[in-house]
Amino acid sequence: MPKNMRSKKYLTPAKTLTYGFAMIITIGTFLLTLGPSSADGQKLNLIDALFTATSATCVTGLVVVDTGSQFSLFGQIILMTLTQIGGLGFMTMGTLIALAFNRRISFRDRLVLQEAMNHNSMEGILSLIRRVMIYSLVIESIGALILAARWSFEMPFSQALYFGVFHSISFFNNGGFDLFGTIHGPFGSLTRYTADPIVNMVVMVMVFLGGIGFIVISDLVNYRSTRRLSLHSKVVLSMSTFLVVFGAIVIFAMEATNPATLKSMSVGEGIFASFFHSINSRSGGLSTLSVAQMKTSTQFLIIILMFIGAAPGSTGGGIKVTVFAVLVGTMYAMVRGKEDIVFFRKRLAKESVFKAITQTWLALFLVIFVAMILSVFEDRDFLVLLFETTSAFGTVGLSLDLTPTLKEISKVILSILMFLGRLGPLTLAYALTSRAAKDPFRYPEGKITIG
């Protein structure tokens, strides 16, 4: 067998995803360094371009330069394209193009799609990919039109329409990028729209839909005819709802007396803002309040929410809500002395438990290790460094105003972390190691003291 055939044969789905995202980031970095990408015509330095391209492709939203004032229309379109590709996945986009030209999708391509979508099987994967594109176009189009109509009261309609399209793609893909730097000041995010019900509702709905994943959206759309939801969808929806409500209650309780955030607002506005930040803390990365001025306890809660993240097969990151649910279920089963972990009268396979524990430990080790490395180069409180690190890993994009002031080496480190966070620690582990064959025997059981 020729050498190139052998190398192709061993290009696993995990490796394909890793190389694919790396290639897109490389192309995006090159395009952002070009003079026409900058508003002033000056080339963006390589490290800042790399960080921005990685943040867009990994749908994070952390920025070292203000998006609205730094980039020209050409540069903004590049970021919008990278965000769309990063959110849907390059394999999804490539498959849709292939289907449009009646190209055959190979078995190997289906394996990669299954890995990219975190789908349990290859059955119906192409049908799911088609639905992904339809759902994305419909949701983003509706969001763009509503936002354009709202912002047409503040700016010319052509600009409002462009803002609507850009931000709709950014919001649904949990990208976190905004263009209001030229209007409301650099790095302002959506702080001028704290009490705006239209902007807040559109953002919350789009971020939530992007965060629950396409498999769940498909289940919800088909529920009228099927009258059933998969176990995956039930776990994602119940756990996501719990985290949103719990996060909002805690944020409101802790920030209600903070004059820099909720104290000056009415109760209704405070509840609205609390729900907004609870939803965005797990993936969206948008803010209507200054996160840097929040209490330390609130910032730590946001770190936890960012670490948990969104659902598998979504545009968000983190360890995923299903992993968190499995960890909670495992703890509950152990405390109650039960042998099985049961959700909605379904018993989980042991493999799911081992995978959830492994993914959590890999993620925890990665976040803590990178935060420790950053503490060597950055003279800031460790909580600030941990916040920024978790935001990068969870592809969230919230910041305590540290990112724009980072040293070059720190930007490179966080770029790598965003890349790892988008792929997932387990996917990277699978890409770097070959699957070992099962042992033909089992060792005798031993016991150690626990607790």
From the number of C-beta atoms within 10 Å of its C-beta (0-12, 13-18, 19+), residue 352 rates as middle
Spell out the alpha helix ranges (H) of 173-213: 181-184, 197-212
- Look at 49 and 214; give whichever has higher pLDDT: 49
Q: Residue 28 and residue 43: Cα distance in Å, rounded? A: 14
Quick check: 28 pLDDT over 50? Answer: yes
pLDDT (tens digit per residue) in 232-253: 899 999 999 999 999 999 999 9
Positive or negative: CA dihedral 304, 305, 311, 315: negative
Residue 433 has pLDDT above 90, yes or no: no
CB 312 within 8 A of CB 235: no
User: Sorting pLDDT into bands at 50, 70 and 90, what band is 88?
Assistant: confident
Top-confidence residue, 97 or 365: 365
Answer with the residue of higher pLDDT: 103 or 339. 339
User: Which of the residue ranges 353-357, 362-366, 427-431 would you say has the lowest mean pLDDT?
Assistant: 427-431
Instruction: Tell me the mean pLDDT in the region 124-147.
Output: 84
pLDDT(375) > 90: yes
Q: Which two tokens stand for residue 175?
A: 């990208």
Q: Which residues contact 281 (CB under 8 A, 6 or more apart)?
A: 247, 301, 302, 305, 306, 396, 398
Confidence (pLDDT) at 122: 56
Instruction: Check whether 109 has a pLDDT greater than 70.
Output: no
Residue 80 in this model has a pLDDT that exceeds 80? yes
Residues 286-298: tens digit of each pLDDT:
888 889 999 999 9
Instruction: Evaluate whether 174 touches 310 at the Cβ level (below 8 Å).
Output: yes
pLDDT (0 to 100) of residue 327: 93
Q: What pLDDT is stored for residue 83 in this prediction?
A: 92
**Over 70: is that where the pLDDT of 119 sits?**
no
User: What is the model's pLDDT at position 53?
Assistant: 94
- At residue 16, what is the residue type? T
270 touches 173 (CB < 8 A) = no
333-356 pLDDT per residue, tens: 888 888 888 898 888 888 888 888
Here the contacts of 140-145 (C-beta below 8 Å, separation 24 or greater) are 140/165, 140/168, 140/169, 140/172, 140/206, 141/168, 143/167, 143/168, 143/171, 143/172, 143/202, 143/205, 143/206, 144/168, 144/169
Give residue 5's pLDDT band: very low, low, confident or very high (50, 70, 90): very low
Q: Which of 108-122, 298-312, 322-336 has the lowest mean pLDDT?
A: 108-122
- 292 by Cβ neighbours in 10 Å (0-12 / 13-18 / 19+) ranks as middle
Instruction: Quote helix, strand, coil % in the chain, to nearest 5.
Output: 70, 0, 30
Q: What value, to the nearest 5°, has the Cα angle with vertex 279 and ends 168 and 426?
A: 90
In the DSSP assignment, the letter for residue 280 is I
